[in-house]
Structure 1
Amino acid sequence: MGNLYDYFSAPDDPTALAAFGQGIEEAGLPLLPVKGIDPYVQLGQAESMLTGTPYDDVTSLPRFNRLLSSPEDESRWLVTLTDELRDALAAVRAGGFAEVAETWSHIDEFGGDVPPGELAGFLMRLADLAEEARARPEPHRLYCLMSL
């Protein structure tokens, strides 16, 4: 079946955690559901490409996949995404994601099974979410709810 990932924005960690319990849509937060693009390795690689930051440096950022939900949950987790990713997505959006998606599609974790156009479309939708998050009077942050 594959893992499900709900990318969304919220004003802060407590609000994101409340939405995790209540339901993101029920909380009225913007949502981008996807299957098979994890926030750690796959999206971390894209963040590295978008920001020009080495992957190991991306993974050491304080908000990179920081677990907000209980570590004891066995089938659902809530993690933070970095503000650097949010800002890079919003900045690159105007120029498009074709080049990044082409390179990104070749990482081992995709196994050569994901067309670059599909990845560019995902990045564009995530950029829409990021742009909306940044445009708010009090900028929102990005999060990912992972479900088995």
Structure 2
Amino acid sequence: MGNLYEYFSAADDEEAAAALGRKGWTQDRGARTLAVKGIDPAVQIGRLEELLTGRPYAQITADPRFARRIGPSWADRGVVTLTDTLTRALAAGEESDLAQVTVDWSQIAEFDGQADPMDLAEFLFELSAIAARASERGHRLYCRWSR
């Protein structure tokens, strides 16, 4: 069945961690989330960041905000941070540049040849809009996941 991932912004780690275990939390705070299956916040988003920024993957994974778990620790759900470098790159991304990146991103080994660049482009445009709003408000990006 796979994990469900919900990408969102929050003012800080404490606010983001509060998202864990609360139903309807996004409506309560007027936040926009992007729910998706099959695009995990570590490897696949890390590879996206590599393509968007040119940062080597090893440098991305060494970033203290790379997929760092925050809040309570449960086996079936959690919240992780996304890097500020990714947030900035997404917020500044032009739609044509993002569309081009999705072609290369769709071909990474972690998608096992099953990713449609058009579907990834739609995801990326929405995530870019969330990142742009987060940047305007001084917020950061996060991902809530559940099994």
Residue 26 of structure 1: how far off its partner (Å):
4.3
Write the distance in 1 (CA, Å) between the matches of 2:85 and 2:112: 27
Write the distance in 2 (CA, Å) between the matches of 1:68 and 1:120: 28
Partner residue in 1 for 2:109? 108
Partner residue in 2 for 1:7? 7
CA contact (8 A) 1:8 1:129 kept: yes
| Among 30, 38, 41, the residue aligned to 2:40 | 38
Residue 94 of structure 1: how far off its partner (Å):
4.4
Which letter does structure 2 place at the counterpart of 1:140? Answer: H
Write the distance in 2 (CA, Å) between the matches of 1:93 and 1:83: 18
Question: Structure 1: where are the runs of 5+ without partners?
Answer: none
Which letter does structure 1 place at the counterpart of 2:142? Answer: Y
Question: Structure 2: where are the runs of 5+ without partners?
Answer: none
Moved more, 4-13 or 28-37: 28-37
Equivalent residues in 2 for 1:1-148 (5 A)? 1-23=1-23, 24-28=25-29, 29-71=31-73, 73-136=74-137, 139-148=138-147
Which letter does structure 2 place at the counterpart of 1:146? Answer: W
Q: How many residues align?
A: 145
Identity of aligned residues (%): 48
Which letter does structure 2 place at the counterpart of 1:110? Answer: F
TM-score, with length taken from structure 2: 0.93
CA contact (8 A) 2:18 2:71 kept: no
Residue 6 of structure 1: how far off its partner (Å):
0.5
CA contact (8 A) 1:67 1:79 kept: yes
TM-score, with length taken from structure 1: 0.92
